Structure 1
Amino acid sequence: MILGLLKEHGKETRVALLPETVQTFTDLKVEVLVEQGAGEKAFASDADYEAVGAKTVSRNDVFAKAEVLLQIQPPAEGDTERIKDSQVWISAFNPLWDTALVKTFLNKGITTFSLDLIPRTTRAQAMDILSSMATVSGYMAVLEAAAKLPTFFPMFMTAAGTIRPANVLILGAGVAGLQAIATSRKLGAQVQVFDVRSAVKEEVMSLGGKFVEVEGATEDKAAGGYAVEQTEEYKKKQQDRINEVAAKSNVVICTAQIPGRKAPLLIPKEAVDAMKPGSVIIDLAASTGGNCELTKNDEVVEYKGVSIIGQSNYPAQKPVDASRMFGKNVLNFMKLMIGEEGELNLNFEDDIVKGTCITHAKEIYNERVKSVIETK
């Protein structure tokens, strides 16, 4: 197999594979072509890649010679026209949301795998890029909030008096939320957490957070641990409770998302109106509409003294470790498709391979994506 590692576009600083992970691919008899400069923003030089057996070539050569094309982001503008139907495209392209791109891949007959849809099973944990990147996001969200807040996070007892700890509200107790709880507590904040899934209460409490109870949530074991749509009655009770807690919070960190749908609105404008001047909202769901009504993706909105930070790519602010984690996930996934002699083996009998495959032979393989496409 010839694996082509592409340079990311736009503001992305990560790279899908660092040299240390490329070394393992070459040990598995996979030839690796690296686009020149692919790792420079993650502090990996072309010489570093060549030292572990990769070849650094032009972008044109990667597209011309590689059997498998790998990057983190969806294809850059014009790249879908360059991908041949004999090639395999691997990235994280959010197929439940970007159905137009899925249809383009489908019509061209390109085999594609979207790493953000790796099944969330015990066996697939070592391949789960969402969990890895959410860890970075939860950590960074708290650090940015602490830097932006005009008060301290921890309680201080000084000769000048006692400084009260910050009150932090975290919406969503997935991986990002749990990391945000842990980091907030390490910094000395008081933390309250809301999630519609009652099963996460024990994890929240084990990290030192207080779970905000709202009775009557709908839960679906078939949702693979994700949140699901709720009834209107529950949404009303939920909103009243969140508004009440948010008004007393110095920091709100929003992490709640539903795959393939717009992020749930949890902090409406009237809730922001009731917050204290100087408060900070960090919205990790900004790329899918945001949990806060006033969020703008990749922007900081100042509203009545409240800072609303829409940030959907914190991992790019920690490119070395984020790339390291991402690359290990990719390696563990691709091992399922590498034969003994380094050849490409698309084993669709494997539930992880099949579940992550979006399009192949002009068919949609992922059932969740297929259902979304059929309803649009």
Structure 2
Amino acid sequence: MIVGVPSETADDETRVALVPTVAAELVDKGVEVCVESGAGTGSMWSDAAYREVGCTVVDEREAVFDRADAICQVRGLAANADHPMDPYREGQVVVGTLGPFDLDEATWEELGDRRLSAFALEFMPRISRAQSMDVLSSMASIGGYKATLVAAERLPKLFPLEMTAAGTVQPAEVLVIGAGVAGLKAISTAERLGASVRGYDIRLEVKQEVESLGADFVELDLETEGSGDDEGYAVEMGEEFYEQQRKQLGRVVPESDVVITTAAIPGAPAPELVSEEMIANMDDGSVIVDLAAADGGNCDPTVADETITYEGVTVFGPTNLPATVPGTASQLFANNLYNFLDHLLADGELVIDTEDEIIDSTLLTHDGTIRRPHEESDESADEEEGTDGG
């Protein structure tokens, strides 16, 4: 079997789906790995590094698609708006983050016509045996870490408490909204930098996790029963709830020097949690990093992939912070991807068993059949779609 790794073509995408150290593990299993020349450059991996572990490096992008049985991509299909349909061969396997919620009807039909087996890693089930394959959590962790560094770099004051001969410097006040993977990483990073940190989430059950990291948990006077699903993730609430939430956050946000927001709902616009009025009441020089910018943002003024100033407050709207840490991000993505491929491999070939929960959850199309697994739960989506904090 041949696994192909083309270069990423999305704007500002520096990651690569497989790094040499992980590709070597596939080679050891008898899998041939074909890599496009320059695919690892953005994450500091040379063509020579791939050749040294037994990979084949080819100059032409099309050659990867022509040769490979399975194509591995960080961002494919709708996750790469610049090139939504690569030259996949009929019957090919495609694995990566594929933007399944944004696929249009024409693309669905094309996937079926080409009889592709397309695996969207965004739909990895939240079960224990799939944790090592969970790309979204890996990338969300990096995003939360980098969001804190972005804020610390822009804030015109230090994060930690400083006792100096020139006087005492009070610590920066940091508020993290959302205690999912990204939020918890932002909290822990801000704590390590010495800030005074508070965390907020509609799920009261995460209070212990927030406090275990050294932060204070913000409790609002809200009815939160039913705010968490069976897996412990937050779910989408009604507009009346969000209105009350914004009203009460209006007393908390202005007290902060830094606000990092992480609330996102798969397949739906991000909830608007921070209003223009709240931001106007923050001190000049304060910083907001909105990690939900790709889905419309948690803050009213947020603009995706732009940094703006609103009433003296800097508002960042990053949509791909993991790509700013390409070495670590690529390593983790590759580890997740390898574990997924290894789950499918049997005697050197990929076996697609739809009775397996991991395969069934992530498989979008197979052998001409359009499956759209995310639509199977649409009837309960309004009640059960989670805010992952990533």
TM-score of the superposition, structure 1-length normalised?
0.94
C-alpha distance in structure 2 between counterparts of 1:274 and 1:352, whole Å? 47
Change (3 A) 1:120 1:61: same
Equivalence map 1:244-255=2 (5 Å): 244-255=251-262
Please tell me whether residue 64 in structure 1 is matched to residue 66 in structure 2: yes
Change (3 A) 1:295 1:221: closer
Partner residue in 2 for 1:26: 27
Partner residue in 1 for 2:197: 191
- Displacement after TM superposition at 1:157 (Å): 1.2
Query: In the alignment, which of 303, 307, 310 is matched to residue 300 of structure 1?
Result: 307
Partner residue in 1 for 2:384: none
1:226 touches 1:258 (CA, 8 Å); kept in 2? no
Partner residue in 2 for 1:80: 85
Change (3 A) 1:149 1:90: same
**Alpha carbon RMSD of aligned pairs, Å?**
2.0
Stretches of structure 1 lacking an aligned partner (at least 5 in a row): none
The answer to which of 105-114 and 276-285 deviates more is 105-114
Equivalence map 1:180-219=2 (5 Å): 180-214=186-220, 215-219=222-226
Equivalence map 1:279-290=2 (5 Å): 279-290=286-297
Please tell me whether residue 358 in structure 1 is matched to residue 359 in structure 2: no
**Amino acid in structure 2 at the alignment position of 1:89:** V
Change (3 A) 1:117 1:243: same
Change (3 A) 1:102 1:250: farther
Change (3 A) 1:207 1:365: same
Provide the secondary structure at the position in 1 that maps to 2:54: coil
C-alpha distance in structure 2 between counterparts of 1:232 and 1:343, whole Å? 49
Q: Which runs of 4+ in 1 moved over 6 A?
A: none
C-alpha distance in structure 1 between counterparts of 2:335 and 2:279, whole Å? 40
Partner residue in 1 for 2:266: 259
Give percent identity, aligned residues only.
42
The answer to which of 78-87 and 30-39 deviates more is 78-87
- Displacement after TM superposition at 1:369 (Å): 3.6
Equivalence map 1:100-115=2 (5 Å): 100=105, 101-102=107-108, 104-106=110-112, 108-115=114-121
| Number of aligned residue pairs | 374
C-alpha distance in structure 1 between counterparts of 2:23 and 2:209, whole Å? 35
C-alpha distance in structure 1 between counterparts of 2:261 and 2:214, whole Å? 18
- Displacement after TM superposition at 1:244 (Å): 1.0
C-alpha distance in structure 2 between counterparts of 1:278 and 1:107, whole Å? 54
The answer to which of 97-106 and 354-363 deviates more is 97-106
**Amino acid in structure 2 at the alignment position of 1:283:** D
1:218 touches 1:231 (CA, 8 Å); kept in 2? no
Partner residue in 1 for 2:387: none
